[in-house]
């Protein structure tokens, strides 16, 4: 299966347009969180209306997996934790969103919400237990906005900005692949990377960049290949090759 993976579009409509044009060439599109931008001058409710339209159009062109990020939260749950209710309301009709798990073309794919507090974090733990029992021996792919702490994919230049719980979950459940985002600069700066091995699992973070084309990863699960496309160029990884690692970044781009 060929997946097109992006994250952190942050209401960049030209990048959503690019994604619409590219989507039909892939078996599925993955958006790993932060579709909205809380610092935008555009009201968050207006952003939701526009992004909903893009997501519906995407589902007409290919399968679509979307997890929430920290910029996507619009509704309160118990204990004042916030959720991306607008996104879960769209689930179904070709969109697989927070809290869902499906089997698809020889894969088990789980999509997890951004956790804003202990209640949602506990809900993720319960989902992991449930989904772990539902896939047999199928390779397991996670869509989860933040990469794990202490991974090159979460390096922000001065410290790691990853999820402190995710590393423990990866160690326990050993997914094949984790698709994330959140730390925009990680692939572009020294000590950071767009791909990393955490135990037996591959973790990816394509980063965020300006312009019409988002930084993105093309993941071919059948061939075991991952290709990263960005302003920095193109890199390809053979996920089955012993010791495979991305090329280290050189310096810091001017646009960061």
Q: What is the CATH number of the domain that holds 41?
A: 3.60.21.10
Residues 206, 15: Cα–Cα separation, whole Å: 14
Please tell me the distance from the alpha carbon of residue 45 to that of residue 36, in angstroms, as a whole number. Answer: 10
Whole-prediction pTM value?
0.95
Q: Which has the closest alpha carbon to 22: 68, 54, 66, 53? A: 54
Place of tokens 């084309």: 213
Judge whether 103 lies within some domain.
yes
Q: Would residue 148 count as lying in a domain?
A: yes
Q: pLDDT tens digits for the chain (256 residues)?
A: 999 999 999 999 999 999 999 999 999 999 999 999 999 999 999 999 999 999 999 999 999 999 999 999 987 665 678 889 898 878 666 799 999 999 988 899 999 999 988 999 999 999 999 999 876 788 999 999 999 999 999 999 989 999 999 999 999 999 999 999 999 999 999 899 999 999 999 999 999 999 999 999 999 999 999 999 999 999 999 999 888 778 767 666 665 6
Within a domain: 245: no
Task: Look at the chain and report how many structural domains it folds into.
Answer: 1
**Which range marks the domain in which residue 86 is found?**
2-238
The CA distances from residue 169 to 89, 132, 149, 175, 192, in Å, are 27, 11, 12, 9, 22
Q: How far apart are CA 30 and CA 20, in angstroms?
A: 12
pLDDT in the model for residue 246 = 81
pLDDT value at residue 70: 96
Q: Is 247 within a domain?
A: no
In a domain, 158, yes or no: yes
């Amino acid at each position: 299966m060929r997946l097109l993976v992006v994250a952190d579009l942050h209401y960049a409509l030209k990048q959503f347009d690019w994604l619409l044009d590219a989507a039909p060439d892939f078996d599925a599109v993955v958006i790993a969180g932060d579709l909205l931008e809380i610092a935008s001058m555009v009201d968050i409710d207006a952003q939701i209306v526009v992004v909903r339209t893009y997501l519906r159009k995407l589902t007409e062109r290919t399968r679509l997996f979307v997890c929430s990020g920290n910029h996507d939260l619009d509704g309160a749950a118990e204990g004042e934790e916030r959720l991306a209710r607008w996104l879960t309301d769209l689930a179904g009709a070709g969109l697989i969103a927070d809290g869902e798990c499906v089997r698809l073309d020889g894969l088990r794919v789980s999509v997890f919400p951004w956790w804003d507090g202990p209640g949602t974090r506990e809900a993720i733990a319960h989902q992991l237990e449930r989904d772990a029992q539902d896939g047999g021996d199928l390779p397991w792919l996670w869509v989860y906005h933040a990469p794990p702490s202490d991974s090159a994919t979460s390096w922000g230049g001065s410290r790691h900005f990853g999820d402190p719980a995710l590393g423990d979950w990866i160690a326990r459940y050993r997914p094949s692949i984790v698709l994330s985002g959140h730390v925009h600069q990680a692939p572009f700066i020294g000590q950071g990377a767009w791909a990393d091995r955490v135990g037996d699992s591959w973790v990816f973070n394509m980063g965020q960049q300006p312009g019409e084309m988002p930084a993105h990863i093309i993941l071919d699960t059948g061939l075991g290949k991952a290709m990263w496309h960005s302003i920095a160029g193109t890199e390809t990884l053979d996920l089955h090759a012993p010791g495979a690692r991305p090329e280290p970044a050189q310096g810091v781009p001017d646009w960061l």
